[in-house]
Chains A and B, each alone.
Chain A
Amino acid sequence: MSDESHAALLGEVLERVRQNNLQARPGTPMAELKNAIEEALASLPALEFEEFSKAIDDADAAQRLVQRAPEMIGWNADQIVEWVEKLSEKLS
């Protein structure tokens, strides 16, 4: 087997593998990858279309504002304590 035959043999092998990879039939890398891509995109969190509709037409918005204003802006008891904690650190 000559040296040229070695290179030819390897070329045959690599080409065969390459063609196998490009096949879209089940079990080949490309086919599996396509399926996996569709699965990945399908598994993304649902888009917030419904949530976005509340942005301009939310009947409960005023009620929520009246009841839970501190939570809405994050100025709840924890936040107050945190500010005092920072103050105490500066005073200690």
Chain B
Amino acid sequence: MGFFSGRRLRKQATVFWELARAGEIAAACELYASELAADEAELSPELRATYRLLAWIERPDEEHEDALRLLAEGEESDGPVAGALVEVQRRRRAGALVDAIRLGSGESPPLAESPDEPSLALERLALAVLDAQRVERPEAPESDRQAAARRVRRRLPPAESLEGAVAEVRHRLEVWARWTLGQHLESYRIAKTRGLAGADQGAFFLAALYGWARDKVEAGEPDAVLALLDKNLKLLSPSRVTNMTIRWAEHALERGAPERGTAWLSKAIPWVAARLGAADPGRQALLELAFALCLLAEGKHVEGGEVLGRIGRTVPGDGDVALVAASLSGLSALWTAQAGISADADDDEGEARMQVRSRWRTCHPVLHAVASRLEAAERSPVAWRGHLLRGLLAYVDSSRSPDPNQLRRFSAATGRVPPDRRGVAGLKAIETALITRVRATDEAAALIRNGRTSELRDLHERVLVPLGTAIPTLVRVAVVVTLWDADRRGFDPLATLHALQPTPEEAPGVAAAVRLVETVIGLDRLAAQCAAEAPSASGLPDPARLDGGDPVAEVAALATAAIRLRRGEVRDAGAALDARRTSDATLAPSWLLARFRVAWDAGDAKLARRIVAAQAAPPALRTPAARVGVSVQAILDALSSDRPEDAIATAGLGEAVPADRIEHGLVSFVTWQLGRERPELAGRFVRAVRGSVESRADLTPIDLARLRWVLLLLDGLCAARSGQHGVAGGSFEQLLRAPAPPAGLCAAPAVHGRLLGWARLFRIGAELALAAAASVEDVRVRLPALRRTLEEQAARLTESPTLRAYGHLIGGLVSFLGADVVVEADAVARLDAARRSLATGARSAFLDAVIGRLDWRRQLLESFWQALTEGDFKKSLQIFKTELEPGFGANVPASIQLGMVLVDAATGSSSEGTELIRRLAVLEDEAPELDRELFEKAREYVLGGQAIRELTERVRAHDYDGVIEFCQTTRWPGHSEGAMPIPVAIALQHAHYKKKQDEDAIRMGEQFRDVRGFEDWVRDYGRLILGYVLFDNKEFEKAAEVFGELSEAEVLGHDVDRYWAAAHFSHGVQLLGVEQKAEAFEAFARSVSKRQGSEDNRALVPLFVHFGMQNLEERHGSRALQAFELLEGGLADLPDSPDLALDQAVARIGVILCQALLDEVDGPRPDEGTVAVEVLRVEELPEEIRGVFERVFRKMAVCQALRLQGDGRGRRAKRTGRLVAAIQEHVGALERLEEASGGRDPVLRVLQGMFELRIGRSRNAAKAMDLFGQAASLGVRSRLLTGIIERERDLQRQAAEQRRVAFTVFDHYLASGAVPATLRESLVRNDDVAELYRLNRSYRPSDIAVPEVKAGVAALRERIAHLETMLGEDALRSDARLVRLGAKVKEELDRLAGSESKVIELEKEIMRLVAAALARQMVAVDASGAELEEDDDE
């Protein structure tokens, strides 16, 4: 920079400073921009900083603050440049605070980092102002206000840091904060001490008082507040007191403590009235309104309602307070209506719903009155509440529809409700529903009035039904009735109408509709029942209840009468007609016709005659027949009302009427009346005519006689038809005795005879009817006489062809009534024929039962006698006891009693013969009609039977001596002296046999043989006993002859064929005993030949087999052999059959068995197994049992061989090896059999075990023990076998011990380390040694063979080898002596090697033999029991 430039710059800088100091900020900034800015770099930082400060003040721009921040960098923090920056920042924050306070934005800039003290105080004050501003909104929550107050108190700078106006601001803020925090008195003190009181002292005091009192009210201390007010009352205006009183209550409400407000006002209101006077009703009303609000908020609606009512009475009706009170009254009533009832109560139709309806009925008019009152105050600001309430009521009460104006005002009122209130959405829904209802209702009304039912039906289904109760009830009724009227068949309105729940105002309309519909339906039902083909029994509507006036009631009554007449309900029909006489001329003929039918059916002859005579009578009644009909009715009427003269006069049978006409008219009328089931009237008529006839003097005796006879007949008939059986019986009895009428209708003999027959029948009927009506006791008393009478009269009836069937019917029925009557087959047949000819209907079932019962009784008697005839006395007795005796009782016929004597005699029912004889004597006396010879025979029978029973008792008691004595001493009825009945003779022969009185038994037996004429059973019994006696006496030949004469192969369970064969056989044996062999074998042959009358002799097979086996057991081999040979021979010629083949096989096997045993004793030694081989060669042996036989006999053969082994001869067999081979063959065959059959034979296992243990060359004790174990598991229990097993186990234990010792030595040898290598290798590879170690050690020989320790010859040879190597060295090779000694040593060494080799070979052989010996030792131990012993043969 040049000089001049520098000077100019300094000069301009000076001007700048001057302008700055003078406060010419704008000029200074302009100078800087124009003169200094270009050379700014040459200027001092202070000047530049000053410029930026002034420029910022002139126009706050961040550019200047940024420039200052750059200038301040590197400068001292307390220097002027930094101070300029701080000043800018301070000013910027202050500006922001001022803006915030002005705008009330609430945004608080942060405090300066390190401002100077005054600045900081101002900033804190500004922030406090902002805090207070933020919560000064009325809607600010109290909690926010409290928090703001606490922040203000923290922010406020110390009072001494501020002065002037800002200090006052600070003090006011402190007062506000303390008041807000509830420190009301402190706030007032601060205001007072900080000098704030001044003109506002009263305001600060009131504020403090207000706050303090508000808290006291909230704390429930109203008395303290009232005391304070009393103290400062002169400072307070009445309006202020009133406002504060209300405000404190309002505050309690806002704080959710309405009870505090209630408590406060309940004391404050009287206090205000006392202190300020009650002259101002508006003030009082306001306080009361606040009190009512508190009560309502507290839920005390009753008390609140009373207060509100008081307001309504004390203040003008159109005042705001009164209207608000009225509004509150309505809301309180609404609340009360729903209070205490859960909205989600599931009991829709229950108590809750009933309560709501009841309350609603109460509050409903109140709400409407409130709404009307509010609506009337159009200029009042609360008038809209009336419109709102009106709409709500319309919504709740569907019976009322709001008109368009009400609906519009309701919509406007809903807009007055603050949008943030909870119920706004519901109000909108209600508004929509009301609009829909109004539209639907209006549309429905229009359609009804225009008769557009089709569209109405569509609207009903689509809109009205879904809306349900929202549609006014009466409109719904109108719709339903209109639809039903248009289509009565397809629509039932009653269900809908009955389901409605109308209000009291609506109820009459609904009821009228229901009644009208029921009327129309009732008329339809009446029409339907009138027109139905058949009368129905369904109920009828009451004409009096039908709606529609007289025409409807009259026609309904007539219809009811018509229906009743069709049903035969004449009385009810008459009542219906009498209730409503038609005034409709078109219905008059119908009404008269109905009335005539009623009179006719009721027998009102007078009325009937009057109707017939009436001019308006329908054509059907204006006929001659009708006139006759009513005349007859008049006769009946006269008879019914006991005016017989009138009846006779009307009938035209009075004075001067000839007898013919009287008789004709009498018979006509009586028969007609009887046909119409009026016998009483007919009887009256008969008696009236009788009186008339008897009083007439103009009748001749003949006329009188004929008329009397007819009158008697008709009188009896009328009495019978009336159930007067006694009267009827008397009339018929009298008629039967009366002389025949001399003339008239009944005078002809045929007619008279027929009528007398009827009279006879009716007399029986009357007796039966009287008896049937009598008591049980009377019936039982009168029955015998009644039966006799009826039987006689029934017999009389059978004389007449016309009445014969009746006679048979009554006769059969009388037999049925008498249980003791013997029924004959003809009687039953006659009854059956009568049943068919008389064509019984209703009682045919009983009659069938009677016929069945009689027939059964008849069959019983026949069965009784049939059984008696056939000797089946038990059956006779059973029939008598179960059927006849109960039926006959004390009247058992004599013939049956005689039969029962025989039955008792035969069955022993009466053990005393004398009693039976006595009964016979009595019966003979009482029944002289029975043949005397019958009684004689019965006596013999009784006596004989008694003897037989005594004999039987002796036989059963085995009292054979008594039997013999009784038989010989008894005189048997029907037999000559010494003779006896055949059974008795058999019993006697048996007794002789049992008492060994053989001669008598044989003599009697011979008699049975010889005498002709006996039945087969007698001869057989006698011969059987005779055969027994002969057999016992060893007269076998004769016994065989007698047995051969029996007619059956089995008599009384005795096998006669066997006895016969046994006799022959025994005879043969007898002959053998006397050496008559030829004869003996002939006898044997006979025993196996056919017995006379027998099919074959196979039944004797068991006898011969038994005989053979018995002889075998008794060691009579030859006899046994003979038995089997005889059996074999006897069966040889019989025809082939499977059973015969088996018998033949048995015989053949028996022969083989015997021969084998005989060979053992006498003959040469048989090969082992001969028996089995021979048996298996038997061709007759069936294949299906051949296996069984083979198993048995092969085991038998083995046992035989072993048994023979034991008796000393077995050693030879053993030596030859045949025994072993034979046993092996049998065992092998048995194994194959077992394999084929699948079974497990324990005996075979024992045999196999014994073979493995004791027989054969390669014996295996372990296998034998295993087989023995299997046999034991299969159930073999043998003491001997157990001993063998125990001994074998001992031997095995001993052998094991011996082997253990031997192997221990062997182990030591191998482990000694002295065995030469070649020998060791040989031993460990030796099979015997390896096998021994495998069986007895858990290791191999090579495992323990220790390598040879070089010593002895080996060591010597090794040393000599070294010596030879040394002698081969060049230095020594030339020394002859050494050469010679070396050769000598070599020679000796070779010899020594040869000797060693031999010794080792010997050692190897020895060890091999040792191993073999050990092996043999084991075998020797195993086979140490190889010798068979005698007790091993099982």
Contacts and interface: CB of A to CB of B under 8 A. Distances in A.
B115 interface: no
A80 B813 contact: yes
Given A37-B562, A41-B593, A29 B551 contact: no
A33 B527 contact: yes
A65 B520 contact: no
The size bracket of the interface on A is 35 or more
B720 interface: yes
B445 A5 contact: yes
Contacts of A66: 751, 754-755
Interface in A56-81: 56-58, 61-62, 64-67, 69-70, 72-81
A29 B523 contact: yes
Interface string B804-847: 01100110010011000000000000000011001111110011
Interface stretch (B43-51, B757-765, B1132-1140, B1374-1382): B757-765
Query: Could you say which of B593, B675, B679, B751 has the most chain A C-beta atoms within 10 Å of its C-beta?
Result: B675
Contacts of A3: 399-401, 472
Main DSSP-derived SS at the A contact region: helix
A15 B835 CA distance: 73
B481 A18 contact: no
A14 B527 contact: no
Contacts of B607: none
Contacts of B529: 40
Interface in B542-583: 547-549, 551-552, 555-556, 558-559, 562-563, 565-566
B481 A39 contact: no
A55 B531 contact: no
Interface string A1-17: 11101110111111011
B477 A10 contact: yes
B366 interface: no
Contact of B555 (A11, A14, A37, A78): A37
Contacts of A34: 555, 586-587
B530 A74 contact: no
B527 A36 contact: yes
A52 B772 contact: no
Nearest to A50: B625
A62 B548 contact: no
B590 A36 contact: no
Given A49-B628, A77-B809, A91-B817, A37 B590 contact: yes
Contact of B481 (A17, A35, A43, A53): A17
A9 B442 CA distance: 11
Contacts of A78: 840-843
Interface in A12-34: 12-14, 16-18, 20-22, 29-30, 32-34
Interface string B1403-1420: 000000000000000000
A76 B586 CA distance: 52
Contacts of B448: 9, 12-13
B526 interface: yes
A53 B254 CA distance: 107
Contacts of A20: 485
Given A17-B481, A33-B523, A1 B721 contact: no
Given A39-B530, A58-B668, A69-B717, A83 B771 contact: yes
A55 B628 CA distance: 10
Contacts of A73: 674, 679, 717, 720-721, 762
B745 interface: yes
Contact of B566 (A1, A6, A33, A40): A40
B523 A14 contact: no
Main DSSP-derived SS at the B contact region: helix
Given A61-B672, A65-B667, A84-B768, A75 B783 contact: no
Query: Could you say which of A13, A37, A56, A75 has the most chain B C-beta atoms within 10 Å of its C-beta?
Result: A37
Contacts of B652: 56
Contacts of A41: 562, 565, 590, 593-594, 597
A72 B806 CA distance: 16
A85 B590 CA distance: 51
Contacts of A62: 664, 667, 745-746, 751
B441 interface: yes
A35 B449 CA distance: 32
A83 B841 contact: no
B846 A85 contact: yes
B779 A2 contact: no
A32 B529 CA distance: 12
A57 B555 CA distance: 41
A11 B746 CA distance: 80
Interface in B1070-1097: none
A30 B838 CA distance: 57
A87 B667 CA distance: 34
Given A6-B401, A16-B485, A73-B720, A39 B531 contact: yes
Contact of A36 (B474, B559, B620, B675): B559
A14 B516 contact: yes
A17 B629 contact: no
Contacts of B623: 49
A40 B567 CA distance: 11
A7 B512 CA distance: 11
A47 B600 contact: yes
B843 A53 contact: no
Contact of A22 (B512, B548, B600): B548
Interface in B460-485: 472-475, 477-478, 481-482, 485
B509 interface: yes
A17 B1036 CA distance: 129
A77 B831 CA distance: 12
Contact of A61 (B565, B586, B668, B841): B668
B1069 interface: no
Nearest to B551: A22
B765 A37 contact: no
Contacts of A83: 765, 768-769, 771-772
A75 B668 contact: no
B1364 to A, nearest CB: 152
A91 B779 contact: yes
A17 B661 CA distance: 66
Contacts of A75: 720, 761-762, 765
A21 B806 CA distance: 67
B277 interface: no
A47 B633 CA distance: 12
Given A40-B566, A56-B651, A72-B675, A80 B806 contact: yes
B888 interface: no
B401 A37 contact: no
**What 6 pairs between A and B have smallest CB-CB spacing?**
A49-B625, A36-B530, A77-B838, A40-B530, A81-B843, A49-B629
Interface of A: 1-3, 5-7, 9-14, 16-18, 20-22, 29-30, 32-41, 43-44, 47-50, 52-58, 61-62, 64-67, 69-70, 72-88, 90-91
21 contacts: A7-B474, A9-B478, A10-B478, A10-B513, A18-B547, A34-B555, A38-B590, A39-B531, A52-B628, A52-B632, A56-B632, A69-B762, A72-B671, A78-B842, A80-B809, A81-B813, A82-B772, A86-B772, A87-B772, A87-B779, A90-B774
Interface of B: 399-401, 403, 438, 441-442, 445, 448-449, 472-475, 477-478, 481-482, 485, 509, 512-513, 516, 519-520, 523-524, 526-531, 547-549, 551-552, 555-556, 558-559, 562-563, 565-566, 586-587, 590, 593-594, 597, 600, 620, 623, 625-626, 628-629, 631-633, 635, 651-652, 664-665, 667-669, 671-675, 679, 717, 720-721, 745-746, 751, 754-755, 758, 761-762, 764-765, 768-769, 771-776, 779-780, 783, 805-806, 809-810, 813, 816-817, 834-835, 838-843, 846-847, 850
Given A72-B671, A77-B834, A78-B843, 19 more contacts: A2-B401, A6-B473, A10-B481, A17-B520, A18-B548, A29-B523, A36-B559, A37-B587, A41-B565, A56-B632, A72-B717, A72-B721, A74-B721, A75-B762, A80-B813, A84-B850, A87-B768, A90-B776, A90-B779
